[in-house]
Amino acid sequence: MTVVSARGLVKAFGAGRSARRVLDGADLDVEGGEVVAVLGRSGSGKSTLLHLLGGLDRPDAGRVTVAGEPVTGASERALSELRRRRVGFVFQFFHLLPELSGEANVLLAGRLRGAHPEARSRGRALVDSLGLREVADSLPHQLSGGEQQRFAIARALVNDPALVLADEPTGNLDVEAGAEVLRLLRAVADEGRAVVMVTHEAAGAGIADRVLRLEDGRLHESRPLQHHP
């Protein structure tokens, strides 16, 4: 099943003659169970693409649907509900709340209105399954980068989203911690979710079913990859 579909996405920054189109008719379809890696030079619009797919920003033209629900044109209230139920975000800099423990960061998502009814029990189970129970009560500044990113992944999964968007998820990690995070993202897709990952690293592209390159505002198929075992 197609989890996220985008057609003709256009997004420009700036105004008048200094306006720059970072997306200029980008199309994308990602199925459940699939990891798609998006590569491109710095400033090519990769993060902008993720923000549009996840309803964090609105395109100037084009449309996006997630799990059959319209993202473009939806009200702010409908968008925040859609993000809560359907989309999990993983960022390069983790974005954990510094005053909450790792586990409390994960469980917070389950306390929001409209959260998955089993979010709290799912959150605790994710902390256990990601090997984080021993550091569950630690504050983010007491955790390694790899531990922080694993908590961030648990938080992204707590409401059982259909789509996970990962923006340079290994960009702040050493090789070993990065490999663990990539293994987790592959497992997330293998459970039937769609994963779209922006990366500049070959290892990130290595777990992908498809690699797309963002050039001149459009997505182009890169060479097909063998499915990662």
Taking only the tens place, the pLDDT of each residue in 150-160 is 888 888 888 88
**Would 195 be classed as within a structural domain?**
yes
Contact 137, 103 (CB under 8 A): yes
Q: Which residues of the chain have pLDDT under 50?
A: 225-229
Residue 72's CB: how many other CB atoms inside 10 A? Answer: 17
**Would 210 be classed as within a structural domain?**
yes
Q: Specify the pLDDT at position 158.
A: 84
The C-alpha atoms of residue 165 and residue 183 are separated, in whole angstroms, by 15
Supply the mean pLDDT for the chain. 84
**Would 150 be classed as within a structural domain?**
no
CATH number where 82 lies? 3.40.50.300
**Would 104 be classed as within a structural domain?**
no
Q: Specify the pLDDT at position 30.
A: 93
Domain count across the chain: 1
The pLDDT tens digits for 54-81 are 988 889 899 999 988 888 888 888 888 8
Q: Specify the pLDDT at position 229.
A: 46
**Would 126 be classed as within a structural domain?**
no
How long is the chain? 229
**Structural domain harbouring 47:** 2-92+161-221
CA distances from 129 to 14, 16, 27, 43, 111 (A): 45, 51, 35, 36, 21
